[in-house]
Structure 1
Amino acid sequence: MIRQAQKRDYQEAAVLIYDAIHDIAHALTGEKQKENVLEQLGNYFIQEKNRLSYRNCFVKTVDDIPVGIIVAYHGKDAYELDEPIRTHIEEKTGKEAYFDQEADETDFYLDTLSVNPQFGGKGFGTELIQSMTTYANEQGFATFSLNVEESNYKACKLYERLGFIYKKTITINHHLYHYLVKTLS
């Protein structure tokens, strides 16, 4: 079943998000140790407003346990959604926080997609993308975008099969990503 995420999903969500974004999770939390990164990702998840808030997530569940997650929001909201994260980083480090722009302001943006490896190959990632695509379309968005690391050929093929088309290459946290866009009806 796919459903809107709930605060109680925070532990599984933190692990799934970490599995998808690795070093970006360290940058977003200001933490070096995985245990601390997971704790802060969980804290972000239960907050009402930031990019990783449960409000921006759908989860795929098996026996009501989240085994997959998709995080998405409108690109025009990205800077505002990052404000609590920037504040946390600045308080923790004493330095100004800066994040690369991941989404065009006109696109509904798929920030993170992750499925527990024990449930890989079952189509759960595709189900999550299709659910969020339907949601974006129902909300009246014209385009749905995502980034995929250049070297992740398997994911590139999946996204192309689902109708996403290459638009440009961008840099996120010192890595090159293909920015793909799907036009919604």
Structure 2
Amino acid sequence: MKLSFGTVIQDQPNYFIEKIWKGLTNLSDHLEKDYYQYLQRHLEKFNRSWDGDQYTEFLEPKIHTIRKDAGNLWHSGMEISMVIDIDTPEEFQFAPVLACQHIQTIAISKTENKPVQLSIDGRFLPAAELHQFAVNDGFQDAEALYAYFKDDFKGKLIHWTAFKY
């Protein structure tokens, strides 16, 4: 199934493509060759490299993503095709097809005058773990994650690596 990613958040580049690739190349050296093939395809299609290619060494890997899944479509073992600009003439698959390693439930609760709470599979993450979770999802920190999710949220955490909370 296609898994669509944006390339900007609040008018700023998010470097999700590069962060995902950093996580993939950390998993396996043989994917480094694939990285250059997909980068070349992007260059040919859009006449430019992806935005943060020159900054990759400074980026932290994105190893999962958060999605609503009202239809309960996502499950372990299914194929993931990572794309940008889904269902447009500019749609581009930027990584090889991957297997979904596992799914976890996620809930973000925002109550006035209380700290934001985030739970995965019903377990509330302590403050020390929240920062790493946000980074693993491609955000700079927990505050940036919470700013993106403006309201309460329930959904799925889709993993394409073996990492699990």
TM-score (norm 1): 0.29
Query: Higher helix fraction: Structure 1 or Structure 2?
Result: 1
TM-score (norm 2): 0.32
* Larger RCO of the pair (alpha carbons < 8 Å, separation 6+): 2
